[in-house]
Amino acid sequence: MNKAALLLAGLALAGCHRAVSTKSGSLTAATAEPVKVVTPAGVKATNTSFQYLSGRGKVHFRAKDSEQSANFNLRIKRDSAIWLSGSLLGIEGVRALLTADSVRVVNRLQKTYFAGDYAYLSQLLNVPVTYKQMQDILLGDYQAAPKGAVPVVKTEGDNQAVTYPVAPLVLEQLVSSATGRLQQLKVSESAAQRSLTVAYSEFQKPTGADIPFAFTSQVIGQQGGTASTSATLNYQKVEVGSGHLDFPFSIPKGYARQTKMKN
């Protein structure tokens, strides 16, 4: 199982040997309203605001000469933790946990683990990323321009096209004029000739919320102008709310530590 592609499906994830939470719990109905983002540039976006998200589905990925499908489970606690599990034929192969400043991955097939920072994900995705950016990508939320960056806003059909620099990157986003939901995100670094594009589609209202959520996401990583890795996530169920979720993560005894990312 290619863990790089699974993380793209989040592509998506504190000391070692302990769990983030050991209590059981369940989601309760969402109470927060969708967040309306109106920027000085006139961009009208609608972002999610729930505290917890739980989703499951299938991911189909391509990397180099390989192609494979797997099941995935995703859990998010806003601004705190992203948990991802990937399995094949009912057997978990990869489990990952992302926090604000750490990335941890267990590969049960190879009996290895990685514990480090976001340089790991930046290498997997071919562009620099942070926890907040990974969360926004997985939730399909619009990323407002940081202070000092001046967005260029244009109308493209039924969408607003928003472009602004965040050195050394350029962010391009398409926002639906009708719903305010993000339709596409492209993050590129021209000097290194690399980019990451995420396209969102099949919008539905998940259990516990009124705001549409993209049940299909297509992720394409490019290097040198050529697609190097791609993943398509198809959610079968998404539930959001303000309740509680577990984020169990531990490293089995005897697993070898990876000192750097390997595909």
Instruction: Specify the number of domains making up the chain.
Output: 1
Q: Is residue 263 part of a domain?
A: no
Per the domain annotation, does 249 fall within a domain? no
CATH number at residue 72: 2.50.20.10
Q: What is the mean pLDDT of residues 21-29?
A: 39
Peptide bond into 128 cis (omega under 30): no
pLDDT of 15 strictly over 70: no
> CA geometry: angle at 84 spanning 94 and 166, to 5°?
115
Q: Residue with structure tokens 């290895």?
A: 112
Segment among 84-88, 203-207, 240-244 with least mean pLDDT: 240-244
Q: Which of 62, 63, 61, 82 is nearest to 73 (CA)?
A: 82
pLDDT in tens, 208-219: 888 899 999 998
Residue 94 domain-assigned? yes
Query: How much is the pTM?
Result: 0.81
The answer as to whether 88 is a domain residue is: yes
With respect to residue 143, please indicate whether it lies within any of the assigned structural domains: yes
**Residue 108 belongs to some domain of the structure:** yes
